[in-house]
């Protein structure tokens, strides 16, 4: 894998991660871009103890452009220059043009707000886009293992680099896939957020992990994995280095956790065999998920076409500075598609008070995904 860093016309960083080690000479970005956008502010919710980023400039971000105007394709493939100046790439990462958090977040005038219930601070951090392939019509599930390995190396690289930025407390690598999720660009890509705080769900998970360690002396994530393996009914697949299972208290109609069999706190802590095995296991899991809602194949009829599953796949890593000894890395994949053409809406109970009600038993999800092993 070869890493090459350059700058876009407005000063944002772009980093190429190439499958091969031969040198790359990035082309100059000649677009007449204006000043780069500055992130907005963060406001503290006194009722919940959570931070909310206010990023009004994101209202003008690119929304479902036609294929020939895709900003994530290599320049030269469409009718307009894209965010990637080069005519070809393997994996590329660049700073988001419309960031929720930015290193250049402006200082707020009078940041010491007189009213203590209205605390406001600059939204400092960083947001990056990760393009998994130059193929506009591709998908992660169809990437060859060598490319998946390059994507994983990019995630590891960015986790380490972003974690070293001043003020960054948490790094979250994730992929949104499908218009049902709210994707605004169809090109296969993910994002990385470097937060200036530990997000609420991560903080709650860390508190539970600490309580468990204090009571038992063991890692909560390791005990959960051992319990799922002992139960067996929710295990989807298991390789030498990874295990996938539908969690006992799944919230979403389709939810799968993929975890390394060895306890590690974050992506950079994975060793070479674990990384190589992930490149084989993860696409296999995604392909099964795309077949989850496909109709059964009948003997005298055509094969059922896969139904692209809308999903969010996010890496739960240890915070940058806190609780690393209590954390265990996991990849959570969730989908709101409860049946073909039917979405799980977060209505009154979920949105109002966080009282989750799931429509599908996780045991049936795991059984279905196990049945698809040879599909």
Enumerate residues 6+ apart whose C-beta is below 8 A from 244.
235, 236, 237, 238, 256, 257, 258, 259, 281, 285, 369
159 or 294, which is more confident? 159
pLDDT per residue as tens digits for the range 324-366: 999 999 999 999 999 999 999 999 999 999 999 998 999 999 9
At 91 the three-state DSSP class reads: strand
Amino acid 48: pLDDT: 95
Across the strands, what pairs with 316? 330
Q: How many CB atoms lie within 10 A of CB 296?
A: 7
Average pLDDT taken over every residue of the chain? 93
37 or 263, which is more confident? 263
Is 80 exceeded by the pLDDT of residue 374? no
Give the confidence band of 60 by pLDDT, cuts at 50, 70, 90.
confident
Whole-number Å distance between alpha carbons of 77 and 90? 15
Mean pLDDT across the stretch 22-51? 90
Give the confidence band of 114 by pLDDT, cuts at 50, 70, 90.
low
pLDDT per residue as tens digits for the range 298-326: 545 556 677 889 999 999 999 999 999 99
Nearest to 258 by CA among 175, 200, 319: 175
Whole-number Å distance between alpha carbons of 328 and 373? 27
Mean pLDDT across the stretch 197-212? 97
Amino acid 17: pLDDT: 98
Sign of CA pseudo-dihedral 49, 51, 56, 62: negative
pTM (2 d.p.): 0.95
Does residue 57 have a known ligand-binding role? no
Amino acid 105: pLDDT: 65
Is 90 exceeded by the pLDDT of residue 375? no
Whole-number Å distance between alpha carbons of 57 and 105? 12
Phi, psi angles (nearest 5°) of residue 231: -70, -45
Whole-number Å distance between alpha carbons of 274 and 257? 16
268 or 119, which is more confident? 268
Burial 113-131 (b: 16+ CB within 10 A, else e): eeeeeeebbbbbbbbbbbb
Amino acid 344: pLDDT: 95
* Domains (range + CATH), the chain: 2-197 (3.30.428.10), 218-374 (3.30.428.10)
Active centre residues (catalytic): 189
Lowest mean pLDDT among 114-123, 129-138, 271-280: 114-123
Give the confidence band of 21 by pLDDT, cuts at 50, 70, 90.
confident
Is 90 exceeded by the pLDDT of residue 139? yes
Does residue 186 have a known ligand-binding role? no
Lowest mean pLDDT among 11-20, 31-40, 98-107, 175-184: 98-107
Amino acid 109: pLDDT: 46
DSSP 27: P
| Alpha-carbon dihedral angle through residues 46, 48, 49, 55, given to the nearest 10 degrees | -80
Mean pLDDT across the stretch 197-208? 97
Nearest to 100 by CA among 125, 83, 82, 119: 125
Is 80 exceeded by the pLDDT of residue 133? yes
Does residue 136 have a known ligand-binding role? yes
Phi, psi angles (nearest 5°) of residue 342: -125, 125
Mean pLDDT across the stretch 141-146? 97
Whole-number Å distance between alpha carbons of 252 and 130? 25
Phi, psi angles (nearest 5°) of residue 52: -125, 125
pLDDT per residue as tens digits for the range 148-157: 999 999 999 9
Does residue 131 have a known ligand-binding role? no
Is 80 exceeded by the pLDDT of residue 270? yes
């Amino acid at each position: 894998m070869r890493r090459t860093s350059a700058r876009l016309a407005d000063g944002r960083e772009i980093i190429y991660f190439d499958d091969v080690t031969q040198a790359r000479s990035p082309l100059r970005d000649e677009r007449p871009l204006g000043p780069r956008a500055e992130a907005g502010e963060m406001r503290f919710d006194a009722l919940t103890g959570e931070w909310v980023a206010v990023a009004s400039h994101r209202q003008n971000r690119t929304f479902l452009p036609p294929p020939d105007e895709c900003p994530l394709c290599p320049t030269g493939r469409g009718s307009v220059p894209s965010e990637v100046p080069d005519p070809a790439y393997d994996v590329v990462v660049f700073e988001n043009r419309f960031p929720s958090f930015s290193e250049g977040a402006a200082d707020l005038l009078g940041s010491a707000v007189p009213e203590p219930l209205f605390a406001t601070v600059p939204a400092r951090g960083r947001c990056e886009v990760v393009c998994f392939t130059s193929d506009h019509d591709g998908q992660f599930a169809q990437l060859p293992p060598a490319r998946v390995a390059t994507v994983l190396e990019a995630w590891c690289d960015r986790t380490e680099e972003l974690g070293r930025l001043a003020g960054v407390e948490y790094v979250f690598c994730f992929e949104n896939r499908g218009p049902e999720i709210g994707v605004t660009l169809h090109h296969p890509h993910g994002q990385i957020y470097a937060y200036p705080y530990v997000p609420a769900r991560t903080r709650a998970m860390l508190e539970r992990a600490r309580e468990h360690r204090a009571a038992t002396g063991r890692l909560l994530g390791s005990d959960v994995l051992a319990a799922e393996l002992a139960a067996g009914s929710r295990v989807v697949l298991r390789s030498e280095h990874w295990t996938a299972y539908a969690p006992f208290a799944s919230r979403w109609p389709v939810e799968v956790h993929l975890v390394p069999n060895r306890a590690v706190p974050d992506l950079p802590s994975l060793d070479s065999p674990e990384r190589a095995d992930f490149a084989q296991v993860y696409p296999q899991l995604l392909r099964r998920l795309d077949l989850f809602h496909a109709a059964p194949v009948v003997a005298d009829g055509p094969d059922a076409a896969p139904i692209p599953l809308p999903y969010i796949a996010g890496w739960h890593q240890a915070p940058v500075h806190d609780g690393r000894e209590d954390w265990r890395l996991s990849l959570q994949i969730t989908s709101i598609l409860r049946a073909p053409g039917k979405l799980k809406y977060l209505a009154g109970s979920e949105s109002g008070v966080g009282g989750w009600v799931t429509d599908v038993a996780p045991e049936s999800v795991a059984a279905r995904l196990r049945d698809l092993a040879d599909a």
